[in-house]
Chain A
Amino acid sequence: MDARFTALLQPFLKHAGPGETALTPDTDLRTLGVDSMQAIELLFAVEDTFGISLPDEELNDTTFATAGSLWNVIAAQLPEGTGDGPAGQETA
């Protein structure tokens, strides 16, 4: 997960308390405030920030479940070497 991603994600996590500012791949987006209405806004922010278009078939609840699942879908659309690899590698 790169810095651009964590920065764009922060404002959407309105239920994140002061002590929960550290984003991990396991961060549960739904409980922190990304409901179905927020998800479309988040999608636009992602596409604007990275200049990519996420494939229709990935725009499901699983993708928007955690920071890591969303990042994996984003990383797959980034040109080789511009992301920092799958989210799972950081916690493995």
Chain B
Amino acid sequence: MTTEPATRPPLDLTDRLAAVTEATEEHLARTDRAAEFPVAALDALRRTGLLGLLVPVTHGGLGGTARDLAAAAQTLGRSDMSVGMIFAMHCQQSAALVRYGNERLRKELLPRIAAGECYLASVTTEAGKGGHLLSAQAQLAAEQGELVVERFAPIVTGGVHADGFLITMRSPGADATAHEVTLVYAHRNQLDITASGDWQPMGMRASHSAALTLTGRLPAHHVVGESGEFHRIATTVFGPLAHLGWSAVWLGTAAGALSRVLRLLRSPAGRARFDLTSELLLTRIARSRQRLDTVHALLQQALHTVESGADLSAPARQLQLNALKITASEECLAAVDDLITALGLRHGYLKDSPTRLEHALRDLRSAPLNYSNDRLHLADGRLALRDQGVSFA
């Protein structure tokens, strides 16, 4: 997945992650209430070098692996799912540049990412394509050796604060179809950017995923991978790292919620309020925990699959990675819902409870929609038909 060997011991990111978590928690109530981007947390991600987690050491980064990404994403997700997703998606973008950027682009860009100067946003959504990652309407134009970008995207997480963008576009040329998709990189200063619309979602409010119109001219070496070959990047980097990173964040968010619930129940005040011998309460806690152990096990297995270096386009491997995403998005949400039922109105439903279950539930409700499970089920059905023997990765 990255250029670093998967076998070395995991990086110790404790202090770096603690700095980000502290900045996150300090502003959490406000960023959620006001639907504000977590600027202080992003500054901490820049300062600590975590934006360069997946950038190779030779380019000044931390040289992290997919496993390091999953661990860090889970930790950040425990405090705030928005911050976790912002981080995981940036890492997914940076991994695509590491693996598919040409030598010149890598040399220009990777040291800046490692130095925390380049937070990357992803521009893959487009009106009228129903979230289909592997198609594009807006077309790149090639003029005098430059690439002309003119693109509207309804949802760009962190787009107002990003320093650079990875953008999917239909390949240039009169005969290019919507399925010939090219990935291009653009610096913020190479684009005219207009934000539109009001960001007022149910949850994930701090992710500030507003609509953007991007226009600009890019040098030819800003094509990432071969022209028209985005599907390859999607299968080998975007898809696997998205599913690993997102699932780790969701697991972290639900685990953080469960941990805060257990701390409340175990506290003297909690024990005075709740009957910890109640079989109903014990069963509900158990069910919530069981869901998280299921997701954790699947995440570990998917990490092994990605680390194996095997062809990730094989049906059994794609099915496993999709199963991770679908299962994590459903079970983490259900685990928090169980806890709300277990604790009741005061600590399950009110914003000011230290359990923050209300916030976690709103955030996690986006998980099945973020690259829709419906779309993944359709893909899985077709993949299943290609694996009559039902092999498992």
Interface residues of A (CB under 8 A from B): 40-41, 44, 47-48, 53
In Å, the complex CA distance between A48 and B269 comes to 11
Whether the Cβ atoms of B268 and A40 lie closer than 8 Å is no
Does B276 reach chain A (CB closer than 8 Å)? yes
Over the window 168-207 of chain B, the binary record of Cβ atoms lying under 8 Å from chain A Cβ atoms (1 yes, 0 no) is 0000000000000000000000000000000000000000
Residue of B nearest to A53 (CB): B266
In Å, the complex CA distance between A64 and B36 comes to 48
Question: What's the tally of chain B residues with a CB closer than 8 Å to chain A?
Answer: 5
Does B27 reach chain A (CB closer than 8 Å)? no
Q: What's the least CB distance linking A74 to chain B, in Å?
A: 16
Over the window 262-300 of chain B, the binary record of Cβ atoms lying under 8 Å from chain A Cβ atoms (1 yes, 0 no) is 000010100100001100000000000000000000000
In Å, the complex CA distance between A53 and B265 comes to 13
Whether the Cβ atoms of A48 and B268 lie closer than 8 Å is yes
Over the window 233-272 of chain B, the binary record of Cβ atoms lying under 8 Å from chain A Cβ atoms (1 yes, 0 no) is 0000000000000000000000000000000001010010
Q: What's the least CB distance linking B82 to chain A, in Å?
A: 27
Residue of A nearest to B268 (CB): A48
In Å, the complex CA distance between A41 and B271 comes to 11
In Å, the complex CA distance between A53 and B263 comes to 10
Tell me which of A44, A47, A48, A53 contacts B276 (CB under 8 A): A44
In Å, the complex CA distance between A53 and B266 comes to 9
Q: What's the least CB distance linking B263 to chain A, in Å?
A: 9
In Å, the complex CA distance between A74 and B299 comes to 36
In Å, the complex CA distance between A55 and B280 comes to 26
In Å, the complex CA distance between A40 and B278 comes to 13
Q: List 8 A-B contacts (CB under 8 A).
A: A40-B276, A41-B277, A44-B266, A44-B271, A44-B276, A47-B266, A48-B268, A53-B266
In Å, the complex CA distance between A40 and B266 comes to 10
In Å, the complex CA distance between A48 and B268 comes to 7
In the bound complex, residues from chain A placing their C-beta under 8 Å from that of B276 are 40, 44
